[in-house]
Structure 1
């Protein structure tokens, strides 16, 4: 960890601020859990979805997959059409910390791997909390994703801060390690109950 204390917070979004579960809509589309598991591990996989986070459009990304699995065309398109069903609301412990930081006028920013077209829907889940953020760096806009070093450089350019000024909170250890290698303070988000204490240890609350 860097020596100086942070003076701002950089938040991941999915499963840190709002819950995201791609299984949710597909549990309604597949009667058998085994069929759902197979679909998400062989057809609409996370590595396939990452292309959306990099800025590839949903229709463009779906086309070759539909060509390979024409029998699943409707379910593949549902990833885009029913994406909002993957979102199930804010995480209360995180929301409370965001509010507490805002009361102290601590600068807050977001850094998220997310398709640009879905960012408005995500913000709409908890608009009062996202309103506290001074900026949001969305991978779909930048065409680069965490943990690529470039997206952290974009954060520093956009915020005007040094890495040591920022406490980065993310649920991916790979993203955390990449940030720490650049001098960010970091908290690996694994349990919402531990979040406030971690922020307090960094002197922000």
Structure 2
């Protein structure tokens, strides 16, 4: 049976990293400036690949920036408060009809447990779940797609992969999966219907 493989951040959960520091810095604008100043997105990607936020913080020169950066893990829940409900509705329809549903997410091993506190269903709804930070390999590396297939007992050719990052969709296609670039829940519904999933 064909399976559907979801990304999580930007597809099922809305991620707004500036909200971790907006209160401490006084505004979202100041938090965005902090993100730019500290190279947060590049460092966060390294955390998604297995590095620790405390180690990444030590690369910063300003002690206050270091402390704020380390606080990210404890403040993480603020960044993922909102689910993308329309996508959850699609996922629930797939599960209700018996379609195998799995996930591959680029997510830090440190922040993943914090995300589960906000959205516990993330730990329950997938047949197989691969979290990049726990594995030390991240999308679009071919190894992470093969890891999911091996653990789920499915062939890449029997999977359709959904991600808001086009580069990650291309990575999935490179190993033989079908791919859908996520833009909106409605567009996803149409794309899965066209493929005969819904």
- TM beyond 0.5: yes
Alignment of structure 1 residues 1-205 onto 2, 5 Å: 7-31=2-26, 35-65=30-60, 68-128=61-121, 130-205=123-198
3-state SS of 1:10 partner:
strand
* Larger RCO: 1 or 2 (CA < 8 Å, sep 6+): 1
Cα deviation, residue 54, structure 1: 1.1
Aligned Cα root-mean-square deviation (Å)? 1.8
Q: TM-score normalised to the size of structure 1?
A: 0.89
For residues 97-137 of structure 1, what are the alpha-carbon distances to aligned partners after superposition, in whole Å with 9 as ceiling and x for unaligned? 11101111110111000112322332343334652311100
- Pair 131,33 (structure 1): closer, same or farther in 2 beyond 3 Å: closer
Runs of 4+ in 1 over 6 A off after TM superposition: none
- Pair 61,7 (structure 1): closer, same or farther in 2 beyond 3 Å: same
Cα deviation, residue 142, structure 1: 1.1
Size of the aligned set, in residue pairs, is 198
3-state SS of 2:78 partner:
helix
For residues 41-74 of structure 1, what are the alpha-carbon distances to aligned partners after superposition, in whole Å with 9 as ceiling and x for unaligned? 1215211111111111222222222xx1213233
Q: Structure 1 stretches of 5 or more lacking a match?
A: 1-5
- Pair 29,113 (structure 1): closer, same or farther in 2 beyond 3 Å: same
